[in-house]
Structure 1
Amino acid sequence: MLYPKTIEQKLGFDKLREWLNDACISPLGQYFVEKIRFSDNFGLVEKLVSQTAEMKKIMEIGENFPSQNYIDATPYLKRAAIEGMLLTQSEFSDLKASLQTIRSIIRFFENQEEEAFPLLGEYSGNVRVDKAITDAIEKIIDDRGQIRDSASSELTRIRRRLISEQAGIRKRLDTLLKSAKSSGWVSDDVSLTVRNGRMVIPVAAEHKRKLKGFIHDESATGQTVFIEPTDVFESNNEIRELEYEERREINRILMELTSQLRPFVPDLQKAYQFLGLMDFLRAKAKLASEMSAIHPTFSNNQFIDWREARHPLLHLSFQKQGKKVVPLNIELKEKERILIVSGPNAGGKSVSLKTVGLIQYMFQCGLLVPMREDSSMGFFQNIFIDIGDEQSLENDLSTYSSHLTNMRHFLSMANKRTLFLIDEFGTGTEPGLGGAIAEAILEDLTKSGAYGVINTHYTNLKVLADKTEGLVNGAMRFDGEHLEPLYQLEIGRPGSSFAFEIASKIGLPKGVINRAKDKLGTQQVNFEKLLKELDIERKVFSEKNIELGIKERKLTKQLADYTALKSSLETNEKKIVNEAKQKAKTLLSDANQLIENTIREIKENKADKEKTKTVRQQLDKFNKVSLEPEVIVETIPAEDVYEPEDGAIVPGSYVRVVGQTAIGEVIALRGKDAEIRIGDLKSTIKLNRLEKVSNKTYKAATGEKKLKTSAKGVDLNERMMNFSFNLDMRGKRGEEALGIVDQFMDNAIMLGYDEIRVVHGKGDGILRTLVRNHLRGYSQVGSMQDEHPDRGGAGVTIVKLK
């Protein structure tokens, strides 16, 4: 249950609904936006939110999910279902485009793993678009929405005759026009035109009697008349009859195609409902991305446990201004169900209250919510709010009476599955009486087991919250020294209104403030003073705690480093000593052996001087080599030497990123940025971070030689998306025009187009002649012809490619 009926407007959800409506591509999605409702069904809420989360994931991955042609064709299907009705050419064109989108969406989910998008994948699996009907439409309607010449053999015959007749009449009219120009009846820049569906010649009014024929129209000034010469009258009639035949044949084809479509209407209606849901989910996913919203843990229990929750509307507004919303941390649990928030005016109490209401409401409407990943969402069946002034002249309700009316509803309907929000609780009447009534109401609301957030200035409610289980105090933090709000909610203590301090800052006379304190009484003044002092002390101790925490972490790290180093040194010492002992033992054994051998040799040689000298030299050598300590030489690697080079950085220059060893080649310059290649990687870096280096440095660092040419990859998908078969050349000069034509032809040939249009205008025909002569040089060009007079005539060249 929701209360009051205007809850969406009071919380601001109507603004989110408008945002979603604008984000939808078609009325199909907007229909779902209109149907958004708060749900008290846990399973349904879980499903709706999960669907949105899956779509957000799809959009973040950047897969090829269709983003256009979400066309509402349901009105066409309703008419197609009626026997004897036919759909128009443009309606079939819309059907073709939108059915292609539906089939693309279905294929997308078919190509995904089943567990990737379980809800949307299952939904798409129940949608059917029979290939027979899409093939039938494709056979009749081309990509420009026109009826194909091959739609029927009769239509092919009619159009061929029509083209032949039009060519013949144009030839005769060109002859007559040249004659009229040479006679001075028309100016040299005049060309053939069409009036009332018939080809005519514009003739100066004073010469209209000189050219025999039927006058169809005249210019706005009356100086030009449009004459259909008698010589082509019959031919024009023949063309008109052929056009009637063409129209009748097209109607017959469309009637037949509509009949083919009729049996598939029920399945197609479900398919378009699916298309509308996809459009709607894309809008919800876009909103979630804009707000950095998530799908938090969701439980079928009553609680609030949010970290860094942000007011959705403030977040969207501040984002445009480059500002950040101060996040809200709030927790309501069974023993602390009702939060009594106090603090100064303009301190953020109302925003915090609306944040709680709007986030819970939008989540139970199936939207993702802006908060941190480790947050959890509870579930409520009822949301009651009392926000703003509800006074009514018609019902004879004052502001306070309207609040009491709301409280009556809260007391009668609140239960354990209710979330209520009350702004400025108890205000609107005499403070003493208002405070007493508010306290009594709060006691009953606490007994009901409901969860809620209440904003108030009443001291008796703060005291009640401090000693009653189920209630908890909260304060909007305020800088008592600088008298500035911090917009942060702190749960566990009441807040001061800072009324006297704010009055002093504004400049109210000191005498007035002192008299107010005397009138209030020492008890209340001391209470407010104590709250202010506690707030300042809490801020000081909080800063000290942060400093102590930093120092403690540093000390812990240093202690750990010292212990690790000490342990490592002791281990190394033992290892070195053991190695030294082992080595000494080996050396001692070798030395003893050598001494014994030396003594034996001296004895055997009877102390011969030369022999004794040689043996002693061997002993000295052993002593120096084996027992002398080794000299350890520490080598210091030489730093890399870079040879900077003067001159401006241009494409092809070799550069080094300042402060790094990376060396690369400049590929292109874009304003103050440069695109560089470092190995196989490409990166864009600010020019002021680059230093030009010599070729020698580059070769030494990379072992590469500068390539004379470089090949760029061609992204066919991007070209296909950006390519249009229609090229508008009007206003271009000769050399410039031919360059553009070459680029256009390259793309058309590469993408496999069989027909293109070049719009060059009529004028004197210079640009037309130049373009056509140039196009004749392409071996891929099969033929060229003027466009139909209704679509530009000689001002447009239709180029058919082989």
Structure 2
Amino acid sequence: MIYPDNFEQKIDFQKIRQLIADRCFSPLGKEKVEEMKFSSDFDEILEKLLQTEEFVKIKEEEDNFPVDSFFDMRPVLRRIRIEGSWIDQNALFELRRSLQTINGIVAFLKREEDKDPKYPHLLGLTEGIVTYPEITKKIDQILDGFGQIKDHASTRLSEIRRELTTTINGISRSLNSIMRKAQAEGFVDKDVTPSMRDGRLVIPVNPSHKRKIKGIVHDESASGKTVFIEPSEVVEANNRIRELESEERREIIKILTEFTNYLRPFLPELLESYEFLAKIDFIQAKASFSLYIGGIMPSIENSQKIDWVQAVHPLLDLALKKQNRKIVPLDITLENQNRILVISGPNAGGKSVCLKTVGMLQYMVQCGLLIPLKENSRVGVFEDIFIDIGDEQSIENDLSTYSSHLMNMKFFERRCNDKSLLLIDEFGSGTEPQIGAAIAEALLDRFNRKKSFGIITTHYQNLKHFANEHEGVVNGAMLYDRHEMKPLFRLTIGNPGSSFAVEIARNIGLPEDVIADASEIVGSEYINMDKYLQDISRDKRYWERKRDEIRRENKRLAELSSKYESSLEDIDKQKKEILAQAKLQAEQLLAESNARIENTIKQIKEAAADKEKTRQIRKELNSFRDKVGDFADNNLQVTNGVPLSKSKFEKGNKKTNKTEKRKNISSSSAAIKHDKLKPGDNVRLKGQTSIGEIMDVSGRKATVAFGMIKSTVDIEKLDKVSNNQLKKEIKASNTGDFIHEKRLNFKQDIDVRGMRGDEALQAVIYFIDDALQLGISRVRVLHGTGTGALRQIIREYLGTVNGVANFQDEHVQFGGAGITVIDLE
């Protein structure tokens, strides 16, 4: 829905229509330009944009697209639906040429239909379009290449024209004979030739000799010095020519009538074909316009948002180019958290241009037009666009400007929702300021609660405060050069703007005592209100930035934790696989060993007292034992996840007194550990940094949870971690890496020369905060000497910061008063 009815007039969209219409080839496309309208159907909008984008590619890359003969034949085709009517010769020629164009366009778009089509969205328009090449062939039998009826269009026409030619040639011979005789007698001048009057061949004769030549006088020259006589010898022949010409016309009408009767059954399909030609003409005009203004296919989403980078108002850009001036592009974002933008700033600073740019481009894109902005922009779709801009005073309806604005606001408040875009200029103006500001704030609150999107321009302080204090509404400012006292036409989001009323009044030469009296009337607090708002917004942005940094750091730590847990799971899985494989290999080895021993015993028994054979058998057994030993050395045994060599494995199975003694000592140590460690204690593996929590203690074993991983570990391999130590390590792990990296990248000098006062102060505030956070003892601010304004602003701020111990000028050899050295506590 678009409101009000003159929405297009308010944003100058009629000029866009005219620029597109001027690029149409025929009335076919111009008709579609007039029919172009706003749509909130995402699929329809997307299809129109893609069609236009494809035609832009055609214009840029293709040379053989048919662009001739875009004739609107629909009126002719509708007229000949009546029985007995016929199509005239010129219309038939245009029909043939336009049908050839339609056939050529369809063939062009379908040339790669079997493969991956190059222009699929334009190809979709050809569905159901019948080209009828036989109609073109039929016309070619009637007309020649110049649109004239062929002699052989019918047998009778051929006969008529043959007789006509013969008769005309006979008359020419007769006239030439008469002319030569008359010239010889001096009745006709030597350089005179036969002429045509009323379709009859005549001889130009001097009036004094007109009685000398028998015939009919048909005409006289304007000067009266020449009369045109048809000699009596050729009168009959000229009469015959007239008869033959009439017969020729009747035969041509007969031919055209027969063709029309042939054509009439195809008229519905042909009308559809010309509707297709109209769409193609319209789309190519939109593509041509897009190239003219630098429009692109935006990244469009089926949601409500505006995220534009370097957006340009096309009409303003064209006007400035004629003046050899450059436009200042618009960067603007409206999304869920910041749906309504309240723009403030001085008059003639570009607030209304910003509002009109948003209205124009959003309306254009929902009419299916490509728009001028950067490729990384994102465009949403709104169901409604409401606008209130300009002077709406109405004498007919007895409405003042303010009353008219309130009528619009009433409509907005009733109809707006979370899919509406509101564009309101000079919100609340036109009446007594206090009540106007109060009503505007109440309406803004309603719009925000309904989660509408919008851009609102204002000078009211209360609306700036509202935007600063309510989620969903954000301040914006049109930047202004205080030193040059001129607007920069650049939008910045996050800060409220100032009207610079005092500065502008002073710049144009208003007496200083008048400015002083005005300032006293409103009070210094009101004069400084803009500064206070900017300070609040600056601090808000600073802490939001800090919060985002913490969120990013927490996310990074969560990713690292997830990565480590995943790695531990992989290690545990590998451990289980190795244990299973070792167990299987051990079972196979044991089975083979038993089989070998049994076989050896059997062979020794069978060998009886044969010592040589027994020795050989023992040798084979020893060889097998060595092979088993090599296998054990190359494949470590695994116990509780700790690898042991073959020798350790063997030693672990020898039950000597020494081993028993060591076992008893170990058991004693484990008992001591058991007394010290209990469920809930924080521990770490000896030589490791990861901290876990004891879940259960059983004998010499403890079940420990390391994050999501539970493991059973010998108590003697664990060290207890105190609560204080645990807190320190958690804090260090969360912030240590971040602080260390920031300290490495921190520069102890900052250069604010060339910045405006508020920008320089904001930069110094962030700089000092970071230095205090990182524990830096001394920093320097390079502000230059100049007028001393920057130096004074910065030092006034430093005097209010608790962490600043001292600040003074740098040594004269290193910059003197142009640099402030700051010692931090």
Normalised-by-shorter TM-score class: 0.5 to 0.7
2:776 counterpart residue number: none
CA contact (8 A) 1:496 1:531 kept: no
- Counterparts of 2:517 and 2:183, CA distance in 1: 103
- Counterparts of 1:145 and 1:88, CA distance in 2: 11
Q: Which aligned pairs between 1:301-340 and structure 2 lie closer than 5 A?
A: 301-340=303-342
User: Aligned with 1:281: secondary structure?
Assistant: helix
Q: By how many angstroms is 1:265 displaced?
A: 1.2
User: Aligned with 1:393: secondary structure?
Assistant: coil
Q: By how many angstroms is 1:226 displaced?
A: 2.0
Aligned pair partner of 1:536 in 752, 756, 759: 756
Q: By how many angstroms is 1:201 displaced?
A: 2.1
User: Aligned with 2:413: secondary structure?
Assistant: helix
CA contact (8 A) 1:52 1:281 kept: yes
Q: By how many angstroms is 1:205 displaced?
A: 3.0
* Structure 1 residues 460 and 163: alpha-carbon distance in aligned structure 2, compared to 1, 3 A threshold: same
Per-residue CA deviations over 1:36-68 (Å, capped at 9, x if unaligned) read 111121111111111111111211112311112
1:413 counterpart residue number: 415
Per-residue CA deviations over 1:371-425 (Å, capped at 9, x if unaligned) read 1111111010010000111111121110000011111111111100000000011
Per-residue CA deviations over 1:491-536 (Å, capped at 9, x if unaligned) read 1101111122222222222222222222221112123467899993
Q: Which aligned pairs between 1:554-573 and structure 2 lie closer than 5 A?
A: none
Per-residue CA deviations over 1:566-613 (Å, capped at 9, x if unaligned) read xxxxxxxxxxxxxxxxxxxxxxxxxxxxxxxxxxxxxxxxxxxxxxxx
Aligned pair partner of 1:517 in 504, 512, 519: 519
The question of 1:34 aligning with 2:34 is answered yes
Q: By how many angstroms is 1:347 displaced?
A: 1.0
CA contact (8 A) 1:338 1:470 kept: yes
The question of 1:249 aligning with 2:260 is answered no
* Structure 1 residues 218 and 539: alpha-carbon distance in aligned structure 2, compared to 1, 3 A threshold: farther
Q: Which aligned pairs between 1:421-436 and structure 2 lie closer than 5 A?
A: 421-436=423-438
Q: By how many angstroms is 1:153 displaced?
A: 2.1
The question of 1:218 aligning with 2:220 is answered yes
Q: Which aligned pairs between 1:193-204 and structure 2 lie closer than 5 A?
A: 193-204=195-206
1:152 counterpart residue number: 154
CA contact (8 A) 1:114 1:121 kept: no
Q: Give the residue type in structure 2 aligned to 1:387.
A: I
Q: By how many angstroms is 1:543 displaced?
A: 11
The question of 1:102 aligning with 2:102 is answered yes
Q: Give the residue type in structure 2 aligned to 1:537.
A: G
User: Aligned with 2:87: secondary structure?
Assistant: coil
Aligned pair partner of 2:510 in 508, 511, 524: 508
Q: Which ranges in structure 2 are unaligned for 5 or more consecutive residues?
A: 539-754, 766-825
User: Aligned with 1:295: secondary structure?
Assistant: coil
2:138 counterpart residue number: 136
Q: Give the residue type in structure 2 aligned to 1:255.
A: T
* Structure 1 residues 493 and 532: alpha-carbon distance in aligned structure 2, compared to 1, 3 A threshold: closer
- Counterparts of 1:183 and 1:288, CA distance in 2: 75
Q: Give the residue type in structure 1 aligned to 2:197.
A: R
2:393 counterpart residue number: 391
2:268 counterpart residue number: 266
* Structure 1 residues 177 and 479: alpha-carbon distance in aligned structure 2, compared to 1, 3 A threshold: farther
Q: By how many angstroms is 1:206 displaced?
A: 3.2
1:209 counterpart residue number: 211
Q: Give the residue type in structure 1 aligned to 2:23.
A: A
- Counterparts of 1:181 and 1:488, CA distance in 2: 89
Q: By how many angstroms is 1:115 displaced?
A: 3.2
2:449 counterpart residue number: 447
CA contact (8 A) 2:496 2:534 kept: no
- Counterparts of 2:445 and 2:189, CA distance in 1: 96
- Counterparts of 1:528 and 1:543, CA distance in 2: 19
- Counterparts of 1:29 and 1:191, CA distance in 2: 51
1:292 counterpart residue number: 294
Q: Which aligned pairs between 1:476-495 and structure 2 lie closer than 5 A?
A: 476-495=478-497
2:71 counterpart residue number: 71
Q: Give the residue type in structure 2 aligned to 1:281.
A: I
Bigger radius of gyration: 2
Q: Which aligned pairs between 1:360-399 and structure 2 lie closer than 5 A?
A: 360-399=362-401
User: Aligned with 2:756: secondary structure?
Assistant: helix
- Counterparts of 2:121 and 2:251, CA distance in 1: 46
Per-residue CA deviations over 1:257-279 (Å, capped at 9, x if unaligned) read 11111121121111111011111
User: Aligned with 1:405: secondary structure?
Assistant: helix
* Structure 1 residues 237 and 541: alpha-carbon distance in aligned structure 2, compared to 1, 3 A threshold: farther
Q: By how many angstroms is 1:208 displaced?
A: 2.6
Per-residue CA deviations over 1:92-135 (Å, capped at 9, x if unaligned) read 11100100000000110121354311121122142112122111
Q: Give the residue type in structure 2 aligned to 1:277.
A: K
CA contact (8 A) 2:313 2:361 kept: yes
TM-score, length-scaled by structure 2: 0.64
Q: By how many angstroms is 1:352 displaced?
A: 0.7
Q: Give aligned-pair identity as a percent.
A: 49
User: Aligned with 1:365: secondary structure?
Assistant: coil
Name whichever of 56-65 and 508-517 sits farther off.
508-517
CA contact (8 A) 2:477 2:492 kept: yes
- Counterparts of 2:374 and 2:117, CA distance in 1: 25
- Counterparts of 2:172 and 2:762, CA distance in 1: 91
Q: By how many angstroms is 1:186 displaced?
A: 4.3
Q: Give the residue type in structure 2 aligned to 1:52.
A: T
2:724 counterpart residue number: none
Q: Give the residue type in structure 1 aligned to 2:352.
A: S
* Structure 1 residues 538 and 522: alpha-carbon distance in aligned structure 2, compared to 1, 3 A threshold: closer
Q: By how many angstroms is 1:255 displaced?
A: 1.0
1:18 counterpart residue number: 18
Q: Give the residue type in structure 2 aligned to 1:111.
A: R
CA contact (8 A) 2:495 2:534 kept: no
Q: Which ranges in structure 1 are unaligned for 5 or more consecutive residues?
A: 546-802
- Counterparts of 2:208 and 2:226, CA distance in 1: 9
2:91 counterpart residue number: 91
CA contact (8 A) 1:498 1:528 kept: no
User: Aligned with 1:140: secondary structure?
Assistant: coil
- Counterparts of 2:36 and 2:288, CA distance in 1: 16
* Structure 1 residues 542 and 246: alpha-carbon distance in aligned structure 2, compared to 1, 3 A threshold: farther
Q: Which aligned pairs between 1:681-696 and structure 2 lie closer than 5 A?
A: none
Per-residue CA deviations over 1:664-683 (Å, capped at 9, x if unaligned) read xxxxxxxxxxxxxxxxxxxx
Q: Give the residue type in structure 1 aligned to 2:269.
A: D
User: Aligned with 2:468: secondary structure?
Assistant: helix
Per-residue CA deviations over 1:728-785 (Å, capped at 9, x if unaligned) read xxxxxxxxxxxxxxxxxxxxxxxxxxxxxxxxxxxxxxxxxxxxxxxxxxxxxxxxxx
Q: By how many angstroms is 1:136 displaced?
A: 0.4
User: Aligned with 2:423: secondary structure?
Assistant: strand
Q: By how many angstroms is 1:8 displaced?
A: 0.8
* Structure 1 residues 199 and 528: alpha-carbon distance in aligned structure 2, compared to 1, 3 A threshold: same
CA contact (8 A) 2:295 2:371 kept: yes
1:610 counterpart residue number: none
User: Aligned with 1:23: secondary structure?
Assistant: coil
RMSD: 2.2
1:6 counterpart residue number: 6
* Structure 1 residues 521 and 542: alpha-carbon distance in aligned structure 2, compared to 1, 3 A threshold: closer
- Counterparts of 2:138 and 2:441, CA distance in 1: 74
Q: Which aligned pairs between 1:683-762 and structure 2 lie closer than 5 A?
A: none
- Counterparts of 1:298 and 1:532, CA distance in 2: 34
- Counterparts of 1:110 and 1:74, CA distance in 2: 25
Q: Give the residue type in structure 1 aligned to 2:756.
A: I
CA contact (8 A) 2:467 2:473 kept: yes
- Counterparts of 2:516 and 2:191, CA distance in 1: 93
CA contact (8 A) 1:480 1:532 kept: no
- Counterparts of 2:190 and 2:374, CA distance in 1: 74
Q: Which aligned pairs between 1:656-667 and structure 2 lie closer than 5 A?
A: none
- Counterparts of 1:532 and 1:465, CA distance in 2: 12
- Counterparts of 2:135 and 2:522, CA distance in 1: 83
* Structure 1 residues 543 and 207: alpha-carbon distance in aligned structure 2, compared to 1, 3 A threshold: farther
User: Aligned with 2:488: secondary structure?
Assistant: strand
1:498 counterpart residue number: 500
CA contact (8 A) 1:417 1:450 kept: yes
Q: By how many angstroms is 1:188 displaced?
A: 4.6
